[in-house]
Amino acid sequence: MKILLIHGPNLNMLAKRDTALYGDKTLTEIDSLVKKRAQELGVEVLAFQSNSEGTLIDFIQAECPKADGIIINPGALTHYGYSLREALVDSALPVIEVHLSNIYAREEWRHKSVIAPIARGQISGLGWRGCVAALEILAAEI
Ligand code: DQA
């Protein structure tokens, strides 16, 4: 089983961005923690980050035929990324949307996700452990 772990705009700045909201782990550290759990579960994880919606879509289109599920933190694209949403639909893979911070406890514009309606589910506000939980759920369900 292969899971795509996708991070959207600005998530390359983790540990430098507002650590009270996003935690103090770097993206590399988070990817390593997810991959460590994946190894225990016998799952392969391919991690990818981009600041560009088009590059995220190119990655999904290229990798979805070889994958079984997607974990995605779309960053701010969560709130307006319709092209990203369509690429996720076209992948025909189960998608779990993850947010480090609780988007419902923040500004009102963050309360709407255009990804959530097409996702298997959403995890919001549980920090990097949300990515690990999403992996465990996909591994159990697929
Ligand atoms: C985020 C929440 C988004 O609203 C924000 O734009 C991000 C990070 C999160 O992980 O909490 O970049 O997706």
Long-range contacts of 16-22 (CB under 8 A, 24+ apart): 21/100, 21/101, 21/106, 22/100, 22/101, 22/127
> In the 8-state DSSP scheme, what is residue 2?
E
What are the domain boundaries of the chain? 24-141
pLDDT digits (tens, 9 = 90+) for 68-124: 999 999 999 999 999 999 999 999 999 999 999 999 999 999 999 999 999 999 999
pLDDT of residue 98: 99
Most informative mutation of 52, 98, 99 for ligand 1 (most atoms within 8 A of CB): 99
Q: Assess contact for 1 and 44: CB atoms under 8 A.
A: yes
CATH class of 24-141: alpha beta
111 is catalytic: no
Name the residue among 110, 64, 55 with its Cα closest to residue 84. 55
Using a 6 Å cutoff on CB, does residue 78 contact ligand 1? yes
pLDDT of residue 20: 96
Mean pLDDT calculated for residue range 36-45? 98
Cα 51–Cα 42–Cα 134 angle in degrees, nearest 5: 45
User: In angstroms, rounded to a whole number, what is the distance separating the alpha carbons of residues 109 and 76?
Assistant: 10
Using a 6 Å cutoff on CB, does residue 17 contact ligand 1? no
pLDDT digits (tens, 9 = 90+) for 121-137: 999 999 999 999 999 99
Q: How confident is the model at residue 6 (pLDDT cuts 50, 70, 90)?
A: very high
82 is catalytic: no
